[in-house]
Amino acid sequence: MKEIVFVTHNKGKIESAKNRLKGVDFKIYEYELEEPRSDDIKYISKHKVMEAYKLVNKPCISLDCGFWIDELDGFPRAFVNFALDTIGIGGILKLMEGKENRSCRFTECLSYYDGKELHQFMGRHEGTLAKQILGNDTDKKWSDLWYIYKPYGYDKTLAQMTDEERTNRIKYESVDSMQEFAKWYKNNGNN
């Protein structure tokens, strides 16, 4: 089985990979990849996996996520880190004061590059935005958005859920890019 490398510094993404990439031989290379300024998560993920490949010279994966809030015309989109660094989750909640439509979603792109071919796998996780910051800190979180994002079909934020609830939750309106990649890799990418 070919080993692949997941280049990331995000502890939450590392924990998710350990849970979702069952049967895929991978190792972690902790490094903060350059993130180009773009609103296109497929482009960002491609850029990052190409940079990762140059670092380790082995087949790599990279994962990039965006967060869309319907009532705010999609804000913050792919600019999640910028939004969190400037206005934070408190600022996002302030922008949503008095708004009835609280629909939102995480959209993600996992890119795999083996030095010759690029394959991309899209994920989408529908949900709603809480009216206040809820939940406990965990080393499994990808982002502070976990304190305000409620997966579709649940009345608690990801930060309020136990590890078991997060891992085993029913995937209403959800496609997981890591799981899509794992299925593909077992059938096609491991030659």
Per-residue model confidence (pLDDT) at position 104: 97
b/e code 45-60 from CB counts within 10 Å (16+ = b) = bbbbbebbbeeeebbb
Q: Which of 171, 138, 139, 137 is nearest to 154 (CA)?
A: 171
Per-residue model confidence (pLDDT) at position 47: 95
Per-residue model confidence (pLDDT) at position 8: 84
Give tens-digit pLDDT for 76-119.
Answer: 999 998 999 999 999 999 999 999 999 999 999 999 999 999 99
Which regions in the chain score pLDDT beneath 50?
Answer: none
Q: How many Å apart are CA 158 and CA 150, to the nearest integer? A: 6
- The CATH architecture of the domain made up of 4-189 is Alpha-Beta Complex (3.90)
Range 30-39 contact pairs with CB under 8 angstroms and sequence separation of 24 or more: 31/7, 31/55, 33/7, 33/8, 33/62, 35/64, 35/81, 38/78, 39/66, 39/77, 39/78, 39/79
CB 114 within 8 A of CB 57: no
Per-residue model confidence (pLDDT) at position 190: 60
Per-residue model confidence (pLDDT) at position 122: 96
Q: How many Å apart are CA 94 and CA 85, to the nearest integer? A: 15
